[in-house]
Structure 1
Amino acid sequence: MSPLLPRIVPSPEGKPLPQDDTAAAFRTFARDLAAGRRPWTTEAAGFLSGLFDQLAGSWDSDLATGRDDPLHDALARGGSFPLGTCLELGSGTGLFTPTLEAAFGTVISIDLSELMLRHAAGRSPLRVRADASALPSADASVSVVAAIDMLLFPQELARVLAPDGVLLWINQLGQDGPLYLSSEEVAAALPGQWTSVEAAAGWGSWPLCDAFADPTTPGCACQSAAAPCMRRAGRKGPPYVVRRSGRVECGSADSSPTRWPRPTPEP
């Protein structure tokens, strides 16, 4: 189980609940895809691209209002993030891009829907139409992946994340969302061993995930069996240093500290 931070942002009244049978079908699809029980096909990509093209014109007014609490809470309480590029997956009309830019600076907004990206003009300066199963990013080049109500492509996320990178997984409507995945489902789908911290906020929830590898991972510079190896499983890139409570746990001698400990969950 992931450490659960106490809720500090209450759930307001008027939560918009999607149609039960439609949401259930999408959740089943999302879980099967993440777990590898269902392939991602060109037909599925075309269906979703067309669906969100149809929704783009009314998205801001009808479907996306009042759902930013999980993202703001995650950025405030998830801990310090690594410096570098943020890849925003499922960026839609760019409602959350300015918030991510304020936190990370450089944000590349990725969406499968061309019309969603057109509506994001003025909010998302770096927009790319792409399939999240084949991201237009080099190996180990992204510090943060922010996936907001997205399908999970675990191998591809692990490929593009830098050795100190993290995955910020946002469920805007929590368990009621049509693409909801729990933190346990996300961690189980990703290659290697992942740890996360999570919380509920507003109508939704979020986990922030990063990975730990076995100390015997080839190329690890850690010489102490007592210290957990911090080299990311399934990713490319050199070992690095993370400081926790002022103590270097693992990394090469010429590495620099990149991230500090997250808040300790309350009992």
Structure 2
Amino acid sequence: MTAILPRVLPSPDGKPVPPPGTADVLRAFAHDLAAGRRPWTAETAQFIAAQFDQLATDWDTTRATGRDDPLRDALTRGGPLPTGPCLELGSGTGLFTPLLSTVFPQVISVDLSLRMLQEAHGRSPVRVQADASALPLPDSSVSVIAAIDMLLFPAETARVLTHDGVLLWINQLGSDGPLYLPATAVATALPGAWQATESEAGWGTWAVLRSTR
């Protein structure tokens, strides 16, 4: 079940839409991975880590959208939100960590790319290099997972969330984003039954998903 909230933050001009060819390929990969039609291998993880290592130094000035509208809107209207620790997956250079830290008592920033995590120095106090498909965390250990322009690993996401935990699923560029997955696809891919609250904000979309199992 999905509750769709009306938009309150408008979409400004100048949306940095990625080239369609590359974006289409990545979106197809993201859909297939979430649905279990595509395997996640060590070779794939190494390739992606190497790509982001190369982009890390210039990420904030050349690749980041510079807008946090979807995340801000989700934190404002997607509640009630748990008050426990937040796991930020694909945290990158830590652009969104300070905003998450205003809401949650602890934010654990996780990324495949060591160079990205190094660039996050000063923004992300707790940084861990790890693969989101095999997180170095116990079962039911985090109250919130914030996944911003991130691939979905359904089983691992459900494993580390507490029974009343939530997944913040943020697409900064909405359906134009290279890793876009709609809330319905996310809820379907996650094990068990999930309900979502979603909306559009700025250039992007957001969803807050809760288990109803």
Q: TM-score, normalised by structure 1?
A: 0.79
- 1:195-234 to structure 2, matched below 5 A, reads 195-213=195-213
**Is structure 2 residue 137 aligned with structure 1 residue 137?**
yes
CA–CA distance in structure 1, aligned partners of residues 2 and 16 of structure 2: 27
Which residue of 2 is the match for residue 41 of structure 1?
41
Q: Hey, which of these two has a bigger chunk of strand by percent?
A: 2
Query: Structure 2 unaligned runs (5+)?
Result: none
CA-CA distance at 1:66 after TM superposition:
2.7
Tell me, what secondary structure is at the counterpart of 2:58?
Answer: helix
When the two chains are superposed, the root-mean-square deviation of aligned CA atoms in Å is 0.8
CA–CA distance in structure 1, aligned partners of residues 179 and 138 of structure 2: 27
Cα contact 1:67–1:173 (8 A) shared by 2: no
Tell me, what secondary structure is at the counterpart of 2:30?
Answer: helix
Q: TM-score, normalised by structure 2?
A: 0.98
CA–CA distance in structure 1, aligned partners of residues 66 and 53 of structure 2: 21
Larger Rg over CA atoms: 1
CA-CA distance at 1:67 after TM superposition:
2.4
Which residue of 1 is the match for residue 177 of structure 2?
177
Cα contact 2:200–2:206 (8 A) shared by 1: yes
Which residue of 2 is the match for residue 151 of structure 1?
151
Q: Percent identity of the aligned residues? A: 65
1:191-216: CA deviations, max 9, x gaps?
00100000000000001000112xxx
1:95-116: CA deviations, max 9, x gaps?
0000001110200000000100
Cα contact 1:199–1:207 (8 A) shared by 2: yes
Q: Hey, which of these two has a bigger chunk of helix by percent?
A: 2
Tell me, what secondary structure is at the counterpart of 1:208?
Answer: strand
Higher RCO (C-alpha 8 Å, min separation 6): 2
Cα contact 2:65–2:172 (8 A) shared by 1: no
1:198-249: CA deviations, max 9, x gaps?
0000000001000112xxxxxxxxxxxxxxxxxxxxxxxxxxxxxxxxxxxx
CA–CA distance in structure 2, aligned partners of residues 161 and 155 of structure 1: 10
Tell me, what secondary structure is at the counterpart of 1:127?
Answer: strand
Which residue of 1 is the match for residue 187 of structure 2?
187
Give the total of aligned pairs: 213
Runs of 4+ with >2 A deviation: none
Which residue of 2 is the match for residue 246 of structure 1?
none
CA–CA distance in structure 2, aligned partners of residues 173 and 65 of structure 1: 8
Query: Structure 1 unaligned runs (5+)?
Result: 214-267
Tell me, what secondary structure is at the counterpart of 2:108?
Answer: strand
CA–CA distance in structure 2, aligned partners of residues 76 and 203 of structure 1: 17
Amino acid at match of 2:84: G
